[in-house]
């Protein structure tokens, strides 16, 4: 997979906690893997902001905080999988590894435990983006 230098992918990061959003964006940096385009971030602190962004389009990956309040990322993941046509992949941050059954219920494409492990986050993000970009180039 070859990408032009001006190509970017957009990652939506949802959490009511700005520190959690910062942990995610700092852990991923500009590029989670050498074979992927640079990332741009859209940070959202509320459910309505996430829904508006997804309805507008142009999002390649959603990273949702399962511990966000008042609306957790797990319920939001399930909602967007039901309601958004062509929903991008969803990665959820779960409070404990034992909560992985909740991530399965939410229909998230991947889950990692919080606090964010930068290596696990980069690996999961890269896997999901490669699949998304591969599917996108096949549909052209």
Domain range summary for the chain, segments of one domain joined by +: 8-138
* CATH of the domain spanning 8-138: 3.40.50.2300
Asked if 105 contacts 53 with a C-beta cutoff of 8 angstroms, the reply is no
Cis check for the bond before 115: say yes or no (omega within 30 of 0): yes
Q: How far apart are the first and last CA of the chain?
A: 14
pTM of the model: 0.92
Q: What is the pLDDT of residues 44-74, one digit of tens each?
A: 999 999 999 999 999 999 999 999 999 999 9
Rg (CA), the chain: 14
Q: What percentage of the chain exceeds 90 in pLDDT?
A: 83
Tokens 């902001």 correspond to what residue? Answer: 49
């Amino acid at each position: 997979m070859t990408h032009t230098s001006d190509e970017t992918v957009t990652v939506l990061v949802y959490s009511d906690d700005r520190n959690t959003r910062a942990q995610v964006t700092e852990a991923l940096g500009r590029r989670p893997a050498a074979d992927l385009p640079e990332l741009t971030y859209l940070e959202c602190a509320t459910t309505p902001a996430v829904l508006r962004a997804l309805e507008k389009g142009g999002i390649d990956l959603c990273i949702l905080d399962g511990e966000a309040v008042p609306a957790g990322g797990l319920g939001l993941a399930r909602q967007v999988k039901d309601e958004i046509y062509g929903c991008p992949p969803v990665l959820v941050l779960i409070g404990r590894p034992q909560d992985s059954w909740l991530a399965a219920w939410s229909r998230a494409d991947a889950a990692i435990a919080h606090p964010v492990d930068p290596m696990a986050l980069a690996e999961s993000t890269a896997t999901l983006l490669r699949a998304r970009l591969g599917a996108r180039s096949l549909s052209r």
